[in-house]
Structure 1
Amino acid sequence: MIIFYDGYCPLCMTEMKHLKKRDKHKRLTLVDIQEPGFNERYPTLDWHALNARIHALRDDGTLITGLDVTHEAWKAVGVGWLYAPLRWPGIRIIADAFYNVFAKHRYTISYLLTGKKRGCDRCIPGETNDK
């Protein structure tokens, strides 16, 4: 699965670092949409849509977004059970609404929770994003 994430978002970067650390079987490819040349490498994807919320491309070519990405990514590294309740009917509707608010205000929320501003700590150690 290819995950398209916002490398300018401190909380997003933190999650990608944790995913990379747990991804022992290399099931995930992490792609920062803020990297130079992104549009040339992925010309068929809508950068603005990707920037509005997290997206992933499944191995079968299906594009997924939001908390579906979060759940499947953590499932791929062996701890999907932690996020499974976010996909249960009833909870899913509420969780998705909260995620949409987070995605829209992620820079402000990241700053309030981490003290890091947009674009801070973008690099994932050892990640080239050339995949």
Structure 2
Amino acid sequence: MAAFKPDWPLTLYYDGECPLCVREIRMFRRRKADDRLQLVDISNPATSPLPGRSRQAMLDCLHARFADQQLVTGIDATYWSYRAVGLGWLVRPLRWRWARPLWQATYRGFCRLRPGLARLIPMPTEERCGSDQCAIKRDKVE
């Protein structure tokens, strides 16, 4: 079997309303890998979901797409996004064939727990308001 050769850049669709996700995205941005990783906030109503996918499905499970339109989800999206920013060594165990069932089950469990965990973790303030998604509109009082 031939090794997969990624067609960069990878577009990662993330949940911008999730504090856990936002922290990871901030780390990716600090790595400055724009030529290999593009980030799209799927929680933004102006962002269209991928063809054949609902916004909710994309919020429930990580999705990423290579330049050649190959789609990867779940632990594979995690693996390739870390590879894109030069941190592939951190997620190398996700590629161990014998451990994939364990990682996939762990990921599914994490996805079920993520909404509750996200409520416990504060959103980074500067990120939440950085794109005017939470701008406060005030009526002029005279």
TM-score, reference length from structure 1: 0.79
Aligned 8 A contact 2:17 2:128 in 1: no
Report the Cα distance in structure 2 between the residues aligned to 1:110 and 1:55, rounded to whole angstroms: 19
Give structure 1 regions of 4+ aligned residues with deviation exceeding 4 angstroms. Answer: 124-127
Which AA in structure 2 matches 1:90?
Answer: W
**Which residue in the other structure is 2:124 paired with?**
121
- For structure 2, the 5+ residue unaligned runs are 1-9, 132-142
SS of 1:3's equivalent in the other structure is strand
3-state SS, counterpart of residue 85 of structure 1: helix
Q: Does 1:22 align with 2:36?
A: no
| 1:24 Cα deviation from its structure 2 partner | 3.8
Q: Which has the larger radius of gyration?
A: 2
What is the root-mean-square deviation in Å for CA atoms of aligned residues?
A: 2.4
Q: Normalising by structure 2, what TM-score?
A: 0.74
In the alignment, is residue 90 of structure 1 matched against residue 98 of structure 2? yes
**CA separation of 1:90 and 1:110: change in aligned 2, threshold 3 A:** farther
The percentage of aligned residue pairs carrying the same residue is 35
Provide the rounded CA distance (Å) in 2 between the counterparts of 1:51 and 1:32. Answer: 10
Which protein, 1 or 2, shows the higher relative CO under an 8 Å CA cutoff with sep ≥ 6?
1
Does 2:66 correspond to 1:58?
Answer: yes
Q: Which SS does the other structure have where 1:64 is aligned?
A: strand
Give the conservation status (yes or no) of the 8 Å contact 1:17–1:124: no
Aligned to 1:49: 57
Q: Report the number of matched residues.
A: 121
